[in-house]
Amino acid sequence: MLDIRRIRQEPEVVAQLLAKKHVHVDLDIVKRLDAKKREITLEIERLKARRNQASEEVSQRKKRGEDASDLIAETRRVGEQIKELEASVAPIDQELQDFLLTVPNTPLPQVPDGESADDNVEIHKFGHVPHFSFRAKAHWDIGENLGIIDFERARKISGSRFNVLAGMGARLSRALINFMLDHARNRGYMEMATPYLVNEASMFGTGQFPKFVEDVFHVVPHDYYLIPTAEVPLTNLFRDEIIQDALPLKFTAYTASFRAEAGAAGRDTRGLIRQHQFDKVELVRFEEPNNSQAALEEMLRDAETVLEDLNLPYRTVMLCGGDMGFGQALTYDIEVWMPSYGKYVEISSVSNMTDFQARRANIRYRPKGAKKTELVHTLNGSALAVGRTIAAILENYQLPNGHVQVPDVLVPYLGGDEQI
């Protein structure tokens, strides 16, 4: 959520930044509701001051033995006025807050201009794109031929966009999860195990609601929501709290993730790239505002080095304004090379959310030596999406005989097995 004071003081600047995301927000609605709320609030404060003054005068008259019935009647009338005004300002404030929840975060100044993924700016590349001396296969064919991925039985059990991993497929998934968690822990992240079901307040806190309500799975009648990413429970650990520990705080968690993918029909319908349920290791950081951008660069390396350890070719791009998400102020996408696509495919997004989530979730800290609290900055990123990593390994490490070489770093996690 954006700071209402910022919209009040520099609406043109906010509008220009939102336009960089190719989003038009009628900020006049905010200004109108804010002005009306402030007008009524000032009148309430004036009436409360008059009531306090009248109550003091009543006390003084009684001490002097004088009649105070007129002032007592006035305090009652003022009290009724206050109640009426407070009742009238409540729906205005609710309308204002509801509207602010629909306003995206503003991009940071260094975010490049652009309308779509075609305008993202490449930062660097790692590794060499493989050139095969045989006809390379897509990961869905490799997995089915090896008997380690079963899409048909998953479709029978659940429907489309699900998979069953069998034998070495399941073991590879578990090996990657353990490797990714160990990698994050070695880089200073505390491992957490969090719920997969969260309440509505948690979804609002991280910005999934109200914009992406159609993209999540709602569990009724219990009114829980399946998490789309571990970012949601990890960030909400400190909702409505003042963080007492010294910043930064760095957390990692493996969870299953669930996305309805509303509006995504026809996109990546084959394979492991776009699933309703998938595994992911997530990174979340809580930072002081003046350090969040440096922390983002560090978090980017935390994710990139997972791919480097796996020796998978990738590239990193900075997203342009038009390709950025709702709550992101600056985002890097890490894209792994997928031979079946003939291009790099997103495997991680690493984002600085600045104080956008913290304001929604009311997450604060007290700077050293300060009396007042301030909002933290939150950051998140995948390190990595497990299914997409499996797909990348199967395609980039495939052998002429249909087997798949295991990346060296995963051999110990697979009990010494060097091939699938």
Binding-site members are: 229-231, 259-261, 282, 346-349, 380, 382
Sorted by sequence, the CB contacts under 8 Å of residue 306 that are 6+ apart come out as: 179, 180, 183, 383, 384
Contacts of 392 (CB under 8 A, 6+ apart): 139, 312, 336, 337, 338, 345, 347
- Binding site, annotated residues for ATP: 259-261, 346-349
Using the CB atoms, write b or e for 121-144: b if 16+ within 10 Å: eeeeebbeeeeeeeebbbbbbbbe
User: 363: part of which helix (H) or strand (E)?
Assistant: strand 363-365
Other beta carbons within 10 Å of 211: 15
Q: Is the dihedral of CA 260, 113, 380, 233 positive or negative?
A: negative
Catalytically active residues are 259, 274, 346, 349, 388
Q: Which residues are annotated as a binding site for L-serine?
A: 229-231, 259, 282, 380, 382
- Tell me the CA distances in angstroms from 397 to 24, 131, 186, 393, one per residue in order: 45, 11, 26, 5
The Cα–Cα gap between 54 and 50 comes to 6
Tokens of 167: 């034998």
Helix, strand, coil percentages (3-state) for the chain, rounded to 5, are 45, 20, 35
* Partners of residue 363 on adjacent β-strands: 241
**Sole residue written with tokens 């990738």:** 314
Name 252's bridge partners. 191, 283
